[in-house]
Amino acid sequence: MRGEYEYSADTGTGAGTFLLGMACGAAVGAAVALLMAPKSGAELRSDLAQQADSWKRTASDTYDQAAGQVNRVVERGRRAARDIADSARKSGEDMADSAASTTGYNS
């Protein structure tokens, strides 16, 4: 039972890290492409605004994934704490019952 709730920092395959790296690389590449392309000021501003919106969506998606993972770890911790408390309560009750039956004292 003890090993069932052991925490490991490696909770996945690294997909989140890969996606974050891929998003950062795409953002840098897009920024360089926008700045190097011959465009008017209005076109460049429009492209930058669109790219900023895309980055915002990517950041939001990454945050949602991280929040979901944190919530899963927290829930696993809550279950473990609840199981440990239940086990301790049962052990205490068993010890009290054993002591009562040994001494002949019943509450």
Task: Find the domain containing 58 and state its range.
Answer: 14-102
Q: pLDDT tens digits, residue range 34-66?
A: 777 777 878 878 888 898 898 899 889 989 988
* The two three-digit tokens of residue 104, written as one number: 């002949």
Is 24 part of a structural domain of the chain?
A: yes
Is 5 part of a structural domain of the chain?
A: no
Is 9 part of a structural domain of the chain?
A: no
Is 4 part of a structural domain of the chain?
A: no
Q: pLDDT tens digits, residue range 67-101?
A: 999 999 999 999 999 999 999 999 999 999 888 88
pTM above 0.85, yes or no: no
Q: Which of 24, 79, 32, 77 is nearest to 54 (CA)?
A: 24
Which residues, including other chains, have CB under 8 Å from residue 86's CB and lie 6 or more apart? Answer: none
Helices (H), the chain: 15-36, 41-103
Is 22 part of a structural domain of the chain?
A: yes
How many separate domains does the chain show?
A: 1
Which residues, including other chains, have CB under 8 Å from residue 73's CB and lie 6 or more apart? Answer: 7, 11
Is 107 part of a structural domain of the chain?
A: no
Is 7 part of a structural domain of the chain?
A: no
